[in-house]
Every structure is written in C-alpha cells, then in structure tokens.
Structure 1
Amino acid sequence: MNVRKAHNIWIEQCEAAQTIKARFGLTAAFDYLVGEKSMSFASSASRHPDFARELPRFVSEVRRMFTPDEIGAQLAHIERSHNERNVDVLEEDDLLREGPAAVVERVQKFMLVKELLTAPMLGTS
C-alpha cells in the first residue's frame, strides 16, 4: 500500500459522496461517507501507516463538505442507529449475528470518527 493509493481512495469517496448528496440528499451522503467509508478508513489506518497519514486529510475534507450542524445531527442519527443495533445483538439468538468483540470494535471506531469530526480544531503532533 502506498500513500498515493490511500489518498486517491478518500478523494474518490468524497467525490462519490458529493454525487450521492446531489441525487439522494444529505443523509444518504453522510451515511455513505461517514457511516461506511470513514469507519473503514479509520480501521485501515490502525493497520496501515499510509492510511494513518491520510486520515487527517480525509477528516478535513469531510468537515469541509458538511456544516458542523449537519455533522452533529447526522452523527446523532448514526449513533442512535448503532445503539439500536447493539441492543439487538444482545437480545437475538442468531448464529450469524455480530459478536460482542465486533460490537466493541465498531463502537470504538465510531467514537474515533465522531471525535475527529467534532473536535473544535484538528492538528498534528
């Protein structure tokens, strides 16, 4: 994996989100970009240095594409959805359901993405 590939991935995802936003609205675009793609990108960043280096740029672009109010409202919507899913995981007797460890990992990734998107200021150290 190289930095250029990681960079191109988030650029393409942001462009796709713009198209989704124009065709299907804010919620669909945010669900795609944040609920799906940024979670995957954050997961990849924990395992691949190239993705880790690109994560701040990806987050900056997401913050540019959506207003703080839109980000807050959409994150709350995703969080409610995740919480309902987590309750379902605990209540269902489905052999194919998500295990507790996977739930914890998903929640941790979401909290990281949420923190990055809502931080008053992004920086590097």
Structure 2
Amino acid sequence: MSASGKHFTPINYIEFAANDLRKIKTFYTAAFDWVFTDYGPDYTAFEKSGICGGFYKHDKFADADQGSALVVLYSTELEKCKARVQNLGATIKTEIFDFPGGRRFHFIDPCGNELAVWTDR
C-alpha cells in the first residue's frame, strides 16, 4: 500500500498477437535480446525485456491508429536501434522525431504490431 493509502498495482505482463511465432521470436531475439519460452504451439512467453509478456498465435495485431496501446521501448542508441530493426525486417512507420523530453521512432514488427523506441539522449 502506498503512502496515500491506495494500492499500487503495477503493470506486470503484456501480450501481443502474432501470426508467426517463429518469425516473431527470431526478430525480438535478434533486435533486443529477448528470451523466449514456448508453451505449446500457439503461445510463447518473453522475458529480459523490461516487462514480461508473451505472443499468442492470431492474425490480429496491435495498431495504435486503431486504438491499441502503444508499447514504447527505451534505447540509448536510437539510430543504431532503428537501423537494427529495419535490417531485421521491421517497417519504420514514423521516422525519428523530437518531443519534449527526448526523441523516438515507431516501427511495425514482422507480424504487424506497432511499437516505438525512445531515448532521452
């Protein structure tokens, strides 16, 4: 319980859809060193990403323009990170731009999910 007397309930886990779990594991392992554990043919969990989560087999995907939550990753080397995800098959949706407090870009992973990467440098 916090000092205000309210319960602190942190985000603990996040899940994404992916139509190709092999492809999604290959991408996130190479791009960000995430570690995966398979739970059957239709689910894979990830860790070493800042927050644990998973991908479930489905044809849908997260698109911020359609109201999905936007997951934002952090990198101290934004330009290198952008080049790495592009070289691994991601599409850059929004080029690097400045905002109060930092810079970021948005990408679409190989299964269609939109994420962003930001830096304060």
Q: TM-score, normalised by structure 2?
A: 0.27
Structure with the greater relative contact order (CA < 8 A, sep ≥ 6): 1 or 2? 1
Structure with greater proportional strand content: 2
Structure with greater proportional helix content: 1
